[in-house]
Amino acid sequence: MSEPIISITALNLAYERAGTRNVILADLDLAVARGEFLVIVGESGVGKSTVLRVLIGLAKPSSGNVQLRARPDCRTPMALVFQDARLLPWRRVIANVAFGLEGSGLSKAERLAKAQGMLDLVGLSDLGQRWPHQLSGGQRQRVAIARALAVDPDVLLMDEPFSALDSFTREGLQDELQRIQAATGKTILFVTHDIDEAVTLADRVVVLAGSPGRLAAEMPITVPRPRRRRDAALQEAARQLRMELSNRSAEL
């Protein structure tokens, strides 16, 4: 693997609450290659989301090192898509997408033009003037993806972005995301607890398990894209991953 875009070494995260020490992550090492679609799976509470929160700066690690090799001209090297879309309800859709561009030195017209381009990319070209409450859950999540892509990050972080959606919408967005990655070449770090989702999307899956969360296993998914959900190779990968997960939780 060429030089990784993200290298996490010996990451620890713990906090004190009411006198007890809670260790969330212990000695985590993880490297992500440029352009890779890396999926982190694990049960609830193993600290999957925390890894993303540390990367984006919403959580402070207790110790350890995170190194990012972003393009030197990149103003926002990483952008996060939250589990719930978290659109700003007082902004129209287009203004939500343009949110991260404010303060970038672009004029308002340039920001809106860029935002419109992102709406086109996620297939919501005509909904720019809507308010967030007028959108469906799936549309809202597309807007959140457009908002993250608008800042042209090197790495797109996605925290269970499709877990609150119905399965039709979820599968539609999984396909959409693969198309978007093919079109933009972004590195994607994607967290989920859905194994089928993980094998459908990933170039590589890593398993986070235990308490505190440790890297328990990893598995490359070599099934060629575009992937079809009924593909036997994908289902075999999912089966292996399930086995891996149940072994790990039995061990720990």
Partner 1 sequence: MMALRSTALAAAGLFAFLLFWEAMPRLGLINPAFLPPPSTIPAAFLNEVRLGVWGEAVLSSLSHYVTGLGVGAGAGIALGLLSGMFRWFEAATAWIVRLLRPIPGLAWVPFAIIWFGVQPEAAVFIIAIGVFWIVFFATQGAVRGVDRDLVEVAQAFGFGSPWARLTKILLPAATPGILVGLRTALGQAWMAVVAAEIFGVPGVGARMMQASSLLSTDIVVVYMLTMAALYGLFDTAFVALQGWLLRWRA
- 244: Cα separation from own chain's centroid: 22
User: Contact with partner 1 (CB under 8 A): which of 103, 105, 224, 226?
Assistant: 103
**Phi, psi at residue 137, to the nearest 5°?**
-55, -45
Q: Least distance in Å: CB of 143 to partner 1?
A: 12
Q: Which of 27, 43, 84, 175 binds partner 1 (CB under 8 A)?
A: 84
From 82, 163, 231, 233, residue interacting with partner 1 (rule: CB under 8 A): 82
Enumerate residues 137-176 that contact partner 1 by CB under 8 A.
151
Rounded to whole angstroms, how far apart are CA atoms 38 and 155? 11
The answer to whether 248 and 209 have CB atoms below 8 angstroms apart is yes
Per CB under 8 A, 70 contacts partner 1: no
Question: Is 102 near partner 1 (CB under 8 A)?
Answer: yes
Rounded CA-CA distance 237/149 in Å is 29
Give the position of tokens 């890297």.
Answer: 215
Q: Does 89 bind partner 1 (CB under 8 A)?
A: yes
Minimum distance, C-beta of residue 194 to partner 1, in the bound complex (Å):
22
The token duo for 237 is 């990968």
Q: Is 116 helix (H, G, I), strand (E, B) or coil?
A: helix
- With binding defined as CB under 8 A, does residue 57 bind partner 1? yes
**Burial of 89: CB neighbours in 10 Å, binned 0-12, 13-18, 19+:** exposed
**Which of 10, 65, 88, 166 lies at the binding interface for partner 1 (CB under 8 A)?**
88
Query: Three-class SS of residue 175?
Result: helix
Closest listed residue to residue 124, CA positions, set 133, 115, 185: 115
CB nearer partner 1, residue 189 or residue 237: 189
The span of 32-40, 50-58, 183-191, 236-244 binding partner 1 (CB under 8 A) equals 50-58
Q: What is the number of other CB atoms lying within 10 angstroms of the CB of residue 133?
A: 8
Query: Does 131 interact with partner 1 (rule: CB under 8 A)?
Result: yes
What value, to the nearest 5°, has the Cα angle with vertex 143 and ends 197 and 120?
100
Select 89 or 224, whichever has its Cβ closest to partner 1. Answer: 89
Instruction: Between 12 and 76, name the residue whose CB sits nearer to partner 1.
Output: 76
Q: Are 35 and 187 in contact (CB under 8 A)?
A: yes
Q: Is 91 in the site for partner 1 (CB under 8 A)?
A: yes
Q: Does 56 bind partner 1 (CB under 8 A)?
A: yes
**Contact criterion met (CB below 8 Å) for 224 and 210:** no
Minimum separation from the CB atom of position 133 to partner 1 (A): 4
Whichever of 92 and 225 has its CB closer to partner 1, that residue is 92
* Interaction site with partner 1 (CB under 8 A): 56-58, 75-76, 79-80, 82, 84, 86, 88-92, 99-100, 102-103, 131-133, 151
